[in-house]
Amino acid sequence: MPIEIFVHSFSAYMDVETCRDMVQHPMCAPEATEGLVHEALINFKGRLFSQEDSLALERVLDIADKTGKSVKIYDVSRVTDNFRALRHGIFKTPTVMINGKRYDGLKDILRAISAGSNL
């Protein structure tokens, strides 16, 4: 059974000058691109997450890589994923479903992951 995580992404407006100031080359700052290379995040090009959603997603992906479990990421900013969340009674993000059990909010998710027995 895959781990399901519900997050909310958004697009940020950036003007060209701000982009130029913020651009870093992967060779100059390799740590800036580490979190962007996970294959599960390919569909989120140019999308941003809140700090809470981002941290939960990072921890879930780390645990999934270690345990060999698959992860399904649902973005509630998309209509179809929002309907899926509503069917499960999920109204806030981040939320993780592990083995049919739901964990709402970053604290519960980190607690469940650190316990490790639920995976």
Domain spans of the chain?
Answer: 1-10+48-119
1-10+48-119 CATH, one of 3.40.30.10, 3.40.50.300, 3.40.50.2300, 3.40.50.450: 3.40.30.10
- Report which of 14, 4, 23, 8 is spatially closest to residue 97, judged by C-alpha positions: 4
Rounded Cα distance, 78 and 96, in Å: 17
* Amino acid occupying residue 38: H
pLDDT tens digit string along 11-66? 766 655 655 555 554 444 444 444 444 666 667 777 788 889 989 999 999 988 88
DSSP the chain: --EEEEE-EE-----HHHHHHH---TTT-GGGTGGG--GGGGGGTT-EE-HHHHHHHHHHHHHHHHHT--EEEEETTSHHHHHHHHHTT--SSSEEEETTEEEEHHHHHHHHHHH-TT-
Render pLDDT for 39-48 as a digit per residue (tens, 0 to 9): 666 677 777 8
The mean of the pLDDT values for the chain is 79
